[in-house]
Amino acid sequence: MKFSSPLKLVTLSGTICLLLANLSSAYAADTLARIKETQSITIAHREASVPFSYLSEDKKPIGYSVDVCLKLVDAIKKELKLPKLTVNYLLVTPSTRIPAIVEGKADMECGSTTNNAERRKQVAFTIPHFFATTRMVVRSDSGIKNWTDLKTKTVVTTKGTTTVKLLNDRDKVRALDLQLIEGNDHQNSFEMVDSGKAAAFPMDDVLLYGLRANSKDPAKFSILGDALSTEPYAIILRKDEPAFKSFIDKEMARLMLEGEITKLYDKWFKSTIPPKNINLNMGMNSLMRDNLRFPSDKVAD
């Protein structure tokens, strides 16, 4: 039996790796050309990121972000003059969503992913289609209108979240002499406000609107306070193909300027949505309104 030398094996291994890297690069080099050739596109989606990207009762991907991506798919189909464009779906989690794009398993990730500097080292982001802000939920009869009204009061934060650091960074804890307690999860924290054990629960506003909508008496709660932070949610694309990003951003800007994004926003944030027919009753914030007037992929980190 003839054996290859270790040096030859190393050389062969290196050659294979180089070929695979080149194939991966070629795959990402021209997404539009590949979509035209295969007449298919793959969208990465989430399982339970309501109302952005989640599964319906019949296990089909639905949501605000999914609808935005389907609008982009329509534009791709029109641009490539395709009679038919098959949409394939790939379920991802927070830990697999970026690798799915980097490795070419999906063409777009349509969920609730924040555009930040660390992630931009690996992937590209479209113009944001949503801006979440950190605010607080209080009982409507509490008399609380803003953060200064919390002086010496008890505030609940969910265990394991970064809200305490955010409050400290904004000097809210020390300046207001807040008494901090922890909830085991978001639902538990919300229930502490409901029962009066805490005066307020600060968190991403879209999560608070969801908790309020699912409560027995939504009118009992108000979501208010100046925004402590901003999270721009955007669709993920591969980083090494600026031409595809340019096309998608151009279409995103058109959807915004012509009012189509506003219609989708109203559908998912101001109307009843499946499967429980809840209504978030979440008005559009000023950051979102400004981005619709002046679409840009530039975000502040």
Phi, psi of 165 (to 5 degrees): -60, -40
Consecutive H or E run containing 284: none
Q: Which CATH superfamily is domain 133-224 in?
A: Periplasmic binding protein-like II (3.40.190.10)
Which CATH superfamily groups domain 31-129+234-293?
A: Periplasmic binding protein-like II (3.40.190.10)
The overall average pLDDT reported for the chain is 90
With contact defined as beta carbons under 8 Å apart, do 289 and 265 qualify? Answer: no
pLDDT digits (tens, 9 = 90+) for 178-191: 999 999 999 999 99
Nearest to 137 by CA among 259, 281, 286, 1: 281
Q: Could you report the per-residue pLDDT of 84-142, keeping only the tens digit for each?
A: 999 999 999 999 999 999 999 999 999 999 999 999 999 999 999 999 999 999 999 99
Asked whether 158 and 167 are in contact (CB, 8 A), the reply is no
Q: 202-212 as b/e, with b when 16 or more CB fall inside 10 Å?
A: bbbbbbbbbbb
- Report residue 5: phi and psi, to 5°: -75, 155
Range 72-91 average pLDDT: 97
Domain 31-129+234-293 matches domain 133-224 at the CATH topology level: yes
**How far, in Å, CA of 20 to CA of 60, rounded?**
33
Write down the domain spans for the chain.
31-129+234-293, 133-224
Q: Taking the chain, what is the end-to-end CA distance rounded to the nearest angstrom?
A: 60
Instruction: Say yes or no to pLDDT of 6 above 80.
Output: no
pLDDT at 25 over 80: no
Between 163 and 205, residue with greater pLDDT? 205
pTM of the model: 0.84
Q: For residues 21 and 24, give the distance between their C-alpha atoms in angstroms, rounded to a whole number.
A: 5
Residue 21 has pLDDT above 50, yes or no: no
The Cα–Cα gap between 126 and 121 comes to 14
For 33-68, write each residue's pLDDT tens digit. Answer: 999 999 999 999 999 999 999 999 999 999 999 999
For residue 30, the model assigns a pLDDT of: 86
